[in-house]
Structure 1
């Protein structure tokens, strides 16, 4: 095995800077995640309301299309209603 040199002692200022930036990054990440979560929850709530309206509209359109198709089939078959 090769002899390795002794590790270099890191300055306390550099060590403090590293740990300080790591801590700041973690705190920023927590803040940013919370902010994005609240924003996304509001968007989901709006989309849920719009989905109910959209589903109701699609159901009405489907019902009208079904009724039109039935009338067309009756006229093709010669059935009077």
Structure 2
């Protein structure tokens, strides 16, 4: 059974204009905020890289400290 659809309805020129206007405004809005966030990311990248390196060093020191504590505990258990 094939379903028959009604013929398409003509869309008002005002509605077409509104749709295209909103689409273009949305693209402009997204482009504006994307450029702002890109500049922010570019400015903050060195700071975040420095923080990442500091965090990595801190984690390495913590790992070494925990390893030393674990080795001392194992030595106590081995005696």
Report the TM range for the smaller structure's normalisation: 0.5 to 0.7
Q: CA RMSD in A?
A: 3.4
Query: Per-residue displacement from partner, 1:1-37 (whole Å, max 9, x unpaired)?
Result: xxx8xx6885xxx6xx757776555444323221111
TM-score (ref. length: structure 1) = 0.58
User: Mind listing any 5+ residue stretches in structure 1 that lack a counterpart?
Assistant: none
The alignment covers a number of residue pairs equal to 75
Distance 2:12 2:78 in 1: 95
Name the CA shift for 1:57/1:20 in 2 (closer, same or farther; >3 Å): same
User: Mind listing any 5+ residue stretches in structure 2 that lack a counterpart?
Assistant: 1-6
TM-score (ref. length: structure 2) = 0.59
- Deviating 4+ runs (over 6 angstroms): none
